[in-house]
Amino acid sequence: MDTYFRKPLSYLYFILFIFCTIGFGLFIYFGTAKPLTEWNWIDILGEGLSTIFVGIWLSYLVKSRPSGHITYYMFIGLSFLFFHLWIDTLDEFIRLPKSSVLHSVLESVPFPIGIIILTYGIFHWHKEQTLISKHMMKREWNFRDYRLFDLLTPLANAHYFKIQLEEHIQYKNLDQTHAVLINLTAFNEVNKNYGFKEGSSVLKYISQVILLNIRPCDLVCRLAGDRFVILLPKTSRQQANHIAQKVIQAIQYSQYYGTKNTTPIPINAEYVLTDLNHDSPQKLLISLQQQLELAKRSSAHSVEVTP
């Protein structure tokens, strides 16, 4: 059964097309065309658009999900709904005898079958999303918006971080929440020596290293370029420093090998941190940036480790 669910859905499209064609043929064979005066344009518009939109749902489902039992159940359920709406649309143009068993079957049977199968698929989709949400720990808090995901790394972007900062600044205990800014030092040299493609791979790798070295309750986002930000809730300054230092050490001890390299690419990093006692996320990030410039000059928070 599992092997069956791994098959592509293209043949199901073909089966749906065959059923819709058969339905159309049955209407043509057993029915009679309605005169134009009997056409209900509101019903035609409503049922026709509903058919089109369910077809669009089917297309999005196939394009956005890999094959699997959830995709199959949702596709089959939506296919029954599409067939039901297709028959309803045909019924606006072609009249079947009301006493016909065929009319009752085509009108009444596909819809409940589709709803049952689709609901079963959504039930498993719900379980799937629950597991995915667990995997998204440390990358998102209390809301999800794909438009705020970083295009390069598996993290949210700076705007998502600002939204979370805004919420904490307004409602949380500011003294026990800290923000950490991590900067990869001399990252331009990585791009220069190994190429931008390798540099992008380094950023993806570092984002995973950070995720592995923070707590489940923390949030990490990519700020911009070679900089990452971490939000540490319910954390004293001493604890925040300890966590940040461990992250820096993990980054610098990590062994990242390029595509064509037999020796690891050296990666160094530094950090600064602050509490959330600022009027706005913008001012907090400006404060972190200013501290980072001072740290660069003094190397006060840089932990130099030779890989």
Q: What is the chain written as a DSSP string? A: -HHHHTS-SHHHHHHHHHHHHHHHHHHHHH-EEPPGGG--HHHHHHHHHHHHHHHHHHHHHHHHS-SSHHHHHHHHHHHHHHHHHHHHHHHTTEEPPTT-HHHHHHHHSHHHHHHHHHHHHHHHHHHHHHHHHHHTTTT--S---GGGB-SSSSSB-HHHHHHHHHHHHHHS-GGG-EEEEEEEETHHHHHHHH-HHHHHHHHHHHHHHHHHTS-TT-EEEEEETTEEEEEETT--HHHHHHHHHHHHHHHHH---B-TT-SSBPP-EEEEEEEES-SSSHHHHHHHHHHHHHHHHHH-TTB-----
Q: Which residue has the higher pLDDT, 2 or 52?
A: 52
Write b or e for each residue in 160-176: b if 16 or more Cβ atoms lie within 10 A of its Cβ, otherwise e: bbbbbbeebbeeeeeeb
Residues 254 and 183 in one domain: yes
pLDDT at 305 over 90: no
Residues 88 and 38 in one domain: yes
Instruction: Give pLDDT, residue 2.
Output: 53
pLDDT at 214 over 60: yes
Q: Which of 304, 270, 305 is nearest to 288 (CA)?
A: 270
Task: Determine contact, residues 168/196, Cβ cutoff 8 Å.
Answer: no
Task: Determine contact, residues 145/160, Cβ cutoff 8 Å.
Answer: yes
Considering only 73-77, 194-198, 269-273, which range has the smallest mean pLDDT?
194-198
Would you put residue 186 in left (φ > 0), alpha (ψ -120 to 50) or beta?
Answer: left
Q: Which residue has the higher pLDDT, 183 or 4?
A: 183
pLDDT at 245 over 90: yes
pLDDT at 243 over 50: yes
Residues 244 and 154 in one domain: yes
pLDDT at 4 over 60: no
Q: Into how many domains does the chain fold?
A: 2
Residues 128 and 151 in one domain: no
pLDDT at 170 over 80: no
Per-residue confidence band for 307, with pLDDT thresholds at 50, 70 and 90: very low
- Tell me the per-residue pLDDT of 49-107, one tens digit each, with 9 for 90 and over: 999 999 999 999 988 888 888 999 999 999 999 999 999 898 888 888 776 788 778 88
pLDDT at 176 over 90: no
Instruction: Give pLDDT, residue 173.
Output: 56
Instruction: Give pLDDT, residue 299.
Output: 61
User: Which residue is it, tokens 């089966």?
Assistant: 15
Domain that holds residue 53: 2-135
pLDDT at 301 over 50: no
**Would residue 141 count as lying in a domain?**
no
Return d(Cα 186, Cα 121) in angstroms, integer: 49
**Would residue 306 count as lying in a domain?**
no
Return d(Cα 153, Cα 135) in angstroms, integer: 15
pTM of the model: 0.74
pLDDT at 112 over 90: yes
**Would residue 303 count as lying in a domain?**
no
pLDDT at 221 over 80: yes
Residues 155 and 192 in one domain: yes
Instruction: Give pLDDT, residue 188.
Output: 86
Residues 289 and 223 in one domain: yes
Considering only 4-13, 96-105, 155-164, 193-202, which range has the smallest mean pLDDT?
4-13
**Would residue 38 count as lying in a domain?**
yes
Residues 292 and 150 in one domain: yes
Name the 3-class secondary structure at 278: coil
